[in-house]
Structure 1
Amino acid sequence: MPLPFLTADRAFEETDDTALPFDDRDHWRRPYRPGPWRVGAGALLLLLASFVLVAAVIIAFAGSLAGAAICAGFAVVIIASSLRLLRMGTWVSARGLRRVGFLTTQTVPWAQITAVRTAQQPVRWLGLPRTVQGQALILVRRDQRAEGQQPLLTDRNADFLARHEAFDRAADSIEVWADEYGRTA
């Protein structure tokens, strides 16, 4: 069963000169593959969920249906968390740019975007409070001040840690989407 949120579009791997090689541009897509840290964390969560489900079956056979239901519910929460973790990132379409976080999703239409640019600045390492010097893809909105800007992507997050070429390719792709649809909006 293919999982479309895990696979990037194959058009980014081909040597195509067009920056937006998609027929259906209204479809939300992530212009990069999820990184090994994000996929590994999702896999570990799914492994933990399988152990919790096995525990739920053992508890059910032992005769405590209420305990089995609690364990199964906990496994469902772990599975949902894993899937949400894998969906996190920056998504683009002809309608705008979408930043998907673990608990929130923010969609910004292209008409509200002034610029999308890459900047050198302190960034959070793997989303932890520790900051290191790195690159960030910054979204500049018309209704937002400069100090309130949050990075869309960083080269130190779970998708791009130790994958600098992938960060550059993803940042360039998102900038092309912003140039293409920012002009027409």
Structure 2
Amino acid sequence: MPLPFLTADRAFDEAADDVALPYDDRDTWRRPYRPGPWRVAAAALLLLFASYVLFAAVIIAFAGETPGAVGCAVGGALVVFAAVRIVRIGTWVSARGVRQVGFLRTRTVPWARVVAVRTTQQPVRWLGLPRTVQGQALLLVVQGGETLAAPLLTDRSADFLSRREAFDRAADSVEAWAEEFRTVA
């Protein structure tokens, strides 16, 4: 079963360096980078935990305790849902705009409202924790001159920690999408 949210399109790996947007179908939402090892490891640990919880639900069901089995099964399903949401967190782009997917919220900004996309040095959250460190962030400036509260990408996030080239490539890709579709929209 293909899981398209786990990897960026292979077209990015196979595309030449001079092609900024190697996709044929630009109306499909896609993440222009691969999920980082920290994000994938967290999701894998959650799925491992979910397998134990679901196995416990089966054992409890065979023991004849239906309410306990249902509770364990619901808990296991919630853990699987959380693991999938963790992997989906990130910045997604399409011809319609840029989408920032969080654990509980998704924010979409159409390209017509985007004034600029720029990389800047600023304090950023380390792995999404409250601690901040100096790093790079990709900021989205919308009409009216306001910057979105949360940066689109940071080089200290779970996707780019210790992966400087991946951050640069992802930032360049989002900037290329913005440059092409900001003028069209």
Q: Normalised by the size of structure 1, how large is the TM-score?
A: 0.97
Deviation for aligned residue 1:159: 0.3
Q: Structure 1: which amino acid aligns with 2:69?
A: A
Pair 1:177–1:130, CA change in 2 (3 A)? same
Partner of 2:102: 101
Unmatched 5+ stretches in structure 1: none
CA distances 1:61-113 after superposition (whole Å, capped 9, x unpaired):
11100000000000000000100111110000000000000000000000000
- Displacement over 2 Å in runs of 4+: 143-146
* Equivalent residues of 1:140, 1:149 under 8 A apart: no
* Equivalent residues of 1:42, 1:85 under 8 A apart: yes
Q: State the number of aligned residues.
A: 184
Partner of 2:28: 27
RMSD of aligned C-alpha atoms? 1.0
Deviation for aligned residue 1:150: 2.0
- Superposed, 1:18-167 pairs within 5 Å as 18-143=19-144, 145-146=146-147, 149-167=149-167
Q: Secondary structure at the match of 1:13?
A: helix
Looking at structure 1, the residues matched to 32 and 175 of structure 2 have their Cα atoms a distance apart, in angstroms, of: 11
Deviation for aligned residue 1:184: 1.1
Q: Secondary structure at the match of 2:6?
A: coil
Partner of 2:174: 174
